[in-house]
């Protein structure tokens, strides 16, 4: 008889031990699973200590698994960590994430009429700094306000920082000092098949919770683009040399821009912006600017667009650098509270001149 022990970790600090016993007869290998569940790591460790003597030998130890040989039991034990969440744990993660998700409402001109368009943002600081996509915002705004996903009232906000070549923009909620916010993942690495989560407002289905997977790995070593290159003149090289991570130039490049009058915004994106290629999500207009989470609730990217059946997110390395640059350039007032200074590129207009019609705003090209 051969046995394996699997320790499965979940986001709610619940641990389980599954004993897989294999019996070999003349023709068949028969498997039997016996499950035990513990509500603390200490209780799990106590159970394992009862099973294995102190003479157990650790053969291999990594962040993912531990391989142990127990002389007393004459068997090899595999302890490994998995991040699969149950339906209940998904619901709990969604409930924890809702306070950091924001609905963005802008008013702008479309064919000489004032329309409302809705997008997504998420908070990254206690004083109401919100990350979202830049392509969602026209150059002239006639109204901008935001509300938290779990609250009914809209609040005033300003555009305070923009990196259009990276498709990233920062909003500042006015008079906010107790905002819940989410952490940006410090690791740049992502694995093929890794499950990711997204909360956004596809086609005004506000607060939709979506799951998907990574289609192309990111090995880390992200380089932040600093040159003035644009996708308009970029020639992709991925077919000649497989890259360590996807970039914007794999999606938007000179081979795509056949019609010189189309894709005005996309042509000016930087081709070396790192992105995440995902599948399984069904993102639509309104998802732009929404966070992409891992199972620990950390942001690993931000939804930006769809391309050839895939969803594309801006990599978290760009998000971290955007926040860092903003804080580096920003000055505080006498009380130490961040000032909400509007970006001068975004001008205020007079909405009284126009008739308000909802639902006519559309994204650019394949941008979400």
DSSP for 164-204, written as a single string: GGGTEEEEEETT-SS----PBPS---B-TT-EEEEEE-GGG
Q: In order of start, what are the domains of the chain with their CATH numbers?
A: 2-82 (no CATH), 90-182+321-358 (2.40.10.10), 195-320 (2.40.10.10)
pTM for this predicted structure: 0.72
The stretch 124-153 carries a mean pLDDT of 93
- Residue 140, strand partner residues: 347
For the chain, the residue count is 368
Q: What 3-state DSSP class applies to 54?
A: coil
Report residue 96: phi and psi, to 5°.
-70, -30
So what's the pLDDT on residue 279?
Answer: 95
Q: What is the pLDDT of residue 364?
A: 36
pLDDT confidence of 268, banded at 50, 70, 90? Answer: very high
Positive or negative, the CA dihedral 259, 260, 261, 266 is positive
Between CA 173 and CA 155 the distance in angstroms is 7
d(CA 306, CA 365): 9
What is the number of alpha carbons within 13 Å of residue 235 lying toward its C-beta? 2
**Residue 346 neighbours by CB under 8 Å, 6+ apart:** 137, 139, 140, 141, 159, 162
Closest by alpha carbon to 198, among 309, 77, 345, 90?
90
Share of the chain above pLDDT 90, in %: 52
pLDDT band with cut points at 50, 70 and 90 for residue 206: very high
Tokens standing for residue 336 = 């130490």
Residue 47 pLDDT > 50, yes or no?
yes
What number is the average pLDDT over the span 209-237? 93
> What pLDDT score does 1 carry?
35
| CB-based contacts of 133, cutoff 8 Å, min separation 6 | 119, 167, 168, 169, 288, 289, 302, 303, 304, 314, 367, 368
């Amino acid at each position: 008889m051969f046995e394996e022990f699997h320790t499965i970790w979940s986001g709610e600090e619940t641990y389980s031990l599954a004993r897989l016993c294999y019996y070999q007869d003349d023709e068949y290998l028969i498997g039997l699973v016996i499950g035990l569940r513990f509500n603390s790591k200490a209780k799990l460790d106590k159970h394992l200590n009862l099973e294995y003597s102190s003479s157990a030998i650790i053969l291999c130890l990594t962040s993912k698994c531990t391989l142990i040989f127990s002389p007393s039991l004459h068997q090899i034990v595999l302890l490994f960590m998995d991040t699969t969440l149950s339906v209940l744990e998904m619901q709990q993660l969604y409930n924890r994430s809702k306070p950091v998700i924001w609905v963005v409402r802008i008013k702008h001109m479309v064919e000489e009429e004032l329309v409302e368009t809705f997008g997504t943002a998420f908070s990254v600081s206690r004083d109401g700094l919100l990350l979202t996509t830049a392509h969602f915002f026209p150059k002239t705004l006639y109204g901008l306000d935001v509300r938290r996903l779990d609250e009914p009232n809209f609040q005033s906000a300003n555009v305070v920082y923009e990196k259009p070549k990276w498709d990233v923009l920062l909003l500042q909620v006015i008079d906010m000092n107790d905002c819940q916010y989410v952490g940006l993942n410090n690791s740049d690495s992502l694995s093929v098949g890794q499950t990711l989560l997204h909360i956004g407002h596809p086609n005004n289905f506000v607060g939709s919770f979506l799951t998907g997977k990574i289609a192309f790995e990111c090995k880390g070593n992200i380089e932040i683009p600093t040159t003035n290159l644009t996708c308009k003149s970029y020639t992709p090289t991925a077919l000649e040399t497989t890259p360590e991570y996807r970039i914007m130039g794999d999606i938007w490049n000179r081979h795509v821009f056949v019609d010189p009058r189309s894709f005005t915004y996309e042509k000016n994106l930087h081709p070396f912006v790192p992105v995440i290629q995902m599948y399984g999500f069904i993102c639509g207009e309104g998802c732009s600017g929404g966070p992409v989470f891992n199972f620990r609730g950390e942001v690993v990217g931000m939804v930006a667009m769809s391309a050839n059946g895939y969803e594309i997110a801006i990599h978290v390395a760009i998000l971290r650098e955007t926040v860092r640059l903003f804080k580096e350039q920003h000055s505080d007032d006498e009380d130490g509270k961040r000032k909400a200074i509007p970006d001068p590129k975004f001008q205020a207009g007079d909405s009284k001149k126009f008739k308000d019609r909802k639902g006519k705003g559309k994204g650019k090209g394949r941008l979400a």
